[in-house]
Chains A and B, each alone.
Chain A
Amino acid sequence: MKRLIGIASWFFPSLTGLCCLLILAMVVIILGDIALHGVQRLSWEFVTAEPRVGMTEGGIFPAIFGTVLLVILMTIAVVPLGVATAIYLHEYARQQSKIVHLVRLALQNLAGVPSIVFGLFGLGFFVAFLGSGIDAVVFGGRLTYAQPCVLWASLTLAVLTLPTVVVATEEALRAVPRNYREAAYAMGATRWQVVRRVVLPQSVGGMLTGAILAISRGAGEVAPIMFTGAAYYLPYLPKKLNDQFMELGYHIYVMTTQSPDVEATKPILYSTVLVLLLVTFALNFTAIIIRSRIRRKLRST
C-alpha cells in the first residue's frame, strides 16, 4: 500500500507533465513546419499581388484584403448584438423567466452546431430569403443582394460567433460585484444608469475579450462562407457590401482541392497558410491593444 502511494506520487505528476509537453510539441511542430516551408515563397510581391497562372504564381493580396474586411464586418455585427443580448439576459430579464431560459438554450445549441450548417443557414436565410426580400422591395426585383456576398458571409460568421460573445460578456457582467450595483441603486439610480455608469465600465474588458475570441474563431472558418460570399477567384477587390470576395482560408481550400494543378500550388500553399496565421494574429493583436487602451483609460478616470 505504501509503495503504491509512493509510485502514484511521482507517476501522476509525470503523466500530467508529459501531456503538457505533448501539447507543446504539437504546437511547435505544426507552427515550425508551416513557418519553415512558408517563408520560402514569402515576399513583398506575394502579399501585394494578385494570383496568376492558375494560382501557381503571383500573390494573395485579394484574399488578405477579403479576410480582414470579412472579420471587421463580422465584429461590427456580432459585438453590439452579443453585448446587448448579454446585458438583457443578465441585467434586465427575470432570471427564472421562460424567455431567458429559451434564449440560453438557443445559445447553447448554436454553439454546438457544425459550421457547415451555418453556411447552409446563411445561404437559405440571408442570401435566398433576406437578399431576395431586399431586392424585391428596394431594388424592384433587380438582382442586387440575392447573391452570395461579403455582407451575407460576415453576418453568417456573426451568427456563428454570437454565443462566444454572449458567454464572454455575461461572464464579465457576473464579475461586477453586487455591492457596486446595490450602492448605485441605494442612491436612486435607475437600472439603465446602473448598467451605463457602473456595470459597463467595469466589464468592458471582458466584453472585448469576447470580441477577441470571436475574431479568432471567425477568421479561421471556411465552411460558413463557402456558399455565402467567398469566391474561387476574383480579379478585383470587393468595393460594395454585395460584392463577392476572396478569403485566405477558402483560398487554401481551393488551392488544395480545386486548382488545375494541385502539385504546382504547394509551395505557395504553405506561404498562404503562414499569412493566414499572421493575419489572424494581427487581428487579435489589434483587438488586444484596443482593449488595454480602453482599460487604461477607464482606470485613469
Chain B
Amino acid sequence: MSTSVAVSVRPDPKIRVQRVNIWYGAFHALKDVTFDIPSRSITAMIGPSGCGKTSLLRCLNRMNDGIRGFRIEGEILLDGCSTLGGRDLTKLRKRVGLVFQRPNPFPLSVFENVAYGPRVHGEWSRSRLGEIVEPALCATALWDELKDRLEENALALSPEQQQRLCISRLLAVQPEVLLMDEPCSALDPVATARIEELMQELKQSYTIVIVTHNMQQASRASDYTGFMWLGELVELDATTTIFTRPAQKQTEGYVTGRFG
C-alpha cells in the first residue's frame, strides 16, 4: 500500500518527481514519492524530524550522490528532462541551487563570496563579475547595507546577513530553482520575516522549494505544502487546503499539533 498521492496535474510543472525511492545502505529513506513542483511558486515541505525532507531536497540537485551506500530509483524531471542519468552534475547544480540550514558563507570577502559561483562557471573578468554581484546583492536587499563593505570578510556579518549573502551567492549563478533547507532555523523572528518577504519577491522569477519545521512559516510563506512522514509524501496540496481541510488524517493530526 502506498499513501503517496500524486498532485492533480497543474500547468507548467518545473520539476516532476516520479516514484522516487532512495536508500542509505539498507535504510529505505524515501518511499515512492511522487509530486510536481509548479513553476514560479513556493512549495513547502513539512513533517517530523527524520522523515526525509532534507533527503528529498538533496535529491533534486543530486547532493546525495557522493554518499557511500546511497541508491536512488525512480525519475526526477527538470523541464521534462531527466536529471538522474547524466554525469554532468555541474550543469544540474547551476540550474538547481541549494541554500543550507546554517548560513555557510566562505571565509572570503562579501564580493568574493558572490563572485565564487560565476568564477566556477568560467567568468573571470572583474568588471563583469561586478555587474553580476551588484544585482545579486540587490535581490536580497543586501546591496544598500553592504555596498561599502564589499571587501569585508563575510564571517563578520550577522547571521541573517550571512544567510542573505548565501542566497545572493546562489542567485549569482542564475539558477532556475532555489532549494532551501530550513533557511531560517538559525535566525530570529525579525530576520525570519525578512527572509520570508524576500522569498515572496524571488518567486516572481524563481521556483522555490523550502523545507521547514515551522508550520506558521509554511502557512504564511508557501503556495503549496507537502506533508511527509516516515519517508512517504502523505499529501501535497495548496497550502490553504493542507492547513484547513487536509484529505489525510495524519496530515490533520500534524498540522493541528496532535503529533509530530
Q: Pick the residue among A182, A188, A189 that contacts B104 (CB under 8 A).
A: A182
Q: Does A98 contact B (CB under 8 A)?
A: no
A183 and B105 alpha carbons, distance in the complex (Å):
8
A180 and B104 alpha carbons, distance in the complex (Å):
6
Contact B108 A301 (CB under 8 A): yes
Q: Does A113 contact B (CB under 8 A)?
A: no
Contact B173 A187 (CB under 8 A): yes
Q: Does A193 contact B (CB under 8 A)?
A: yes
Q: Does B71 contact A (CB under 8 A)?
A: no
User: How distant is B198 from chain A, measured CB to nearest CB, in Å?
Assistant: 19
Interface positions, chain B 34-91, Cβ under 8 Å from A, are: 61, 63, 66, 68, 89-91
In the bound complex, residues from chain B placing their C-beta under 8 Å from that of A53 are none
Residues of B whose CB lies within 8 Å of any CB of A are 61, 63, 66, 68, 89-94, 97-98, 100, 102, 104-109, 112, 116-117, 119-121, 153, 166, 169-170, 173
User: How distant is B90 from chain A, measured CB to nearest CB, in Å?
Assistant: 4
A180-B106 in contact given A188-B120, A197-B116 (Cβ < 8 Å): yes
In the bound complex, residues from chain A placing their C-beta under 8 Å from that of B98 are 186
Contact A96 B68 (CB under 8 A): yes
Contact A182 B89 (CB under 8 A): no
Contact B100 A182 (CB under 8 A): yes
Question: From B89, which residue of chain A is reached at the shortest CB distance?
Answer: A188
Interface core residue of B92, B116, B153 (most chain A CB under 10 Å): B116
Q: Pick the residue among B66, B97, B102, B108 that contacts A187 (CB under 8 A).
A: B97
Chain A positions 196 through 226: 1 when the CB is less than 8 Å from some CB of chain B, otherwise 0: 0110001000000000000000000000000
Q: Does A43 contact B (CB under 8 A)?
A: no
Contact A186 B106 (CB under 8 A): no
A184-B100 in contact given A202-B107, A301-B108, A301-B112 (Cβ < 8 Å): no
Q: Pick the residue among B91, B106, B166 that contacts A188 (CB under 8 A).
A: B91
Residues of A whose CB lies within 8 Å of any CB of B are 94-96, 177, 179-180, 182-190, 193, 197-198, 202, 299, 301
Could you show 24 A-B contacts with beta carbons less than 8 Å apart?
A179-B102, A180-B107, A182-B100, A183-B100, A183-B104, A183-B106, A183-B166, A183-B169, A185-B93, A186-B93, A186-B98, A186-B100, A187-B93, A187-B116, A187-B169, A187-B170, A188-B92, A188-B173, A189-B90, A189-B116, A197-B116, A197-B119, A299-B153, A301-B112
Q: Which 4 A/B pairs are nearest by Cβ-Cβ distance? A: A188-B93, A186-B98, A179-B104, A188-B90
User: How distant is B153 from chain A, measured CB to nearest CB, in Å?
Assistant: 7
User: How distant is A100 from chain B, measured CB to nearest CB, in Å?
Assistant: 13
Main secondary structure of the interface of A (DSSP, over half): helix
User: How distant is B120 from chain A, measured CB to nearest CB, in Å?
Assistant: 4
Q: A179-B102, A197-B119 are in contact. List 16 more A-B contacts (CB 8 A).
A: A96-B68, A180-B104, A182-B104, A183-B100, A183-B106, A183-B169, A184-B116, A184-B120, A185-B93, A186-B98, A187-B94, A187-B116, A187-B173, A188-B90, A202-B107, A301-B108
In the bound complex, residues from chain A placing their C-beta under 8 Å from that of B109 are 301
In the bound complex, residues from chain A placing their C-beta under 8 Å from that of B105 are 183
Contact B153 A190 (CB under 8 A): no
In the bound complex, residues from chain A placing their C-beta under 8 Å from that of B92 are 188
User: How distant is A141 from chain B, measured CB to nearest CB, in Å?
Assistant: 51
Interface core residue of A94, A182, A202 (most chain B CB under 10 Å): A182
In the bound complex, residues from chain A placing their C-beta under 8 Å from that of B108 are 301
Contact B112 A187 (CB under 8 A): no
User: How distant is A39 from chain B, measured CB to nearest CB, in Å?
Assistant: 46
In the bound complex, residues from chain A placing their C-beta under 8 Å from that of B100 are 179, 182-183, 186
User: How distant is A163 from chain B, measured CB to nearest CB, in Å?
Assistant: 27
Question: From B99, which residue of chain A is reached at the shortest CB distance?
Answer: A186
A183 and B63 alpha carbons, distance in the complex (Å):
10
User: How distant is A211 from chain B, measured CB to nearest CB, in Å?
Assistant: 22
A158 and B105 alpha carbons, distance in the complex (Å):
38
Interface core residue of B61, B105, B106, B109 (most chain A CB under 10 Å): B106
Question: From A96, which residue of chain B is reached at the shortest CB distance?
Answer: B68
User: How distant is B215 from chain A, measured CB to nearest CB, in Å?
Assistant: 26
A104 and B260 alpha carbons, distance in the complex (Å):
46
A188-B63 in contact given A179-B102, A202-B107 (Cβ < 8 Å): no
In the bound complex, residues from chain B placing their C-beta under 8 Å from that of A202 are 107
Question: From A186, which residue of chain B is reached at the shortest CB distance?
Answer: B98
A177 and B100 alpha carbons, distance in the complex (Å):
14
A54 and B120 alpha carbons, distance in the complex (Å):
64
User: How distant is B171 from chain A, measured CB to nearest CB, in Å?
Assistant: 11
A189-B120 in contact given A183-B166, A301-B112 (Cβ < 8 Å): yes
In the bound complex, residues from chain A placing their C-beta under 8 Å from that of B107 are 180, 202
A193-B120 in contact given A188-B90, A188-B93 (Cβ < 8 Å): yes
User: How distant is B186 from chain A, measured CB to nearest CB, in Å?
Assistant: 12
In the bound complex, residues from chain A placing their C-beta under 8 Å from that of B91 are 188
In the bound complex, residues from chain B placing their C-beta under 8 Å from that of A198 are 106
User: How distant is B89 from chain A, measured CB to nearest CB, in Å?
Assistant: 7
User: How distant is A55 from chain B, measured CB to nearest CB, in Å?
Assistant: 54
A193 and B119 alpha carbons, distance in the complex (Å):
10
Question: From B58, which residue of chain A is reached at the shortest CB distance?
Answer: A186
In the bound complex, residues from chain B placing their C-beta under 8 Å from that of A94 are 68
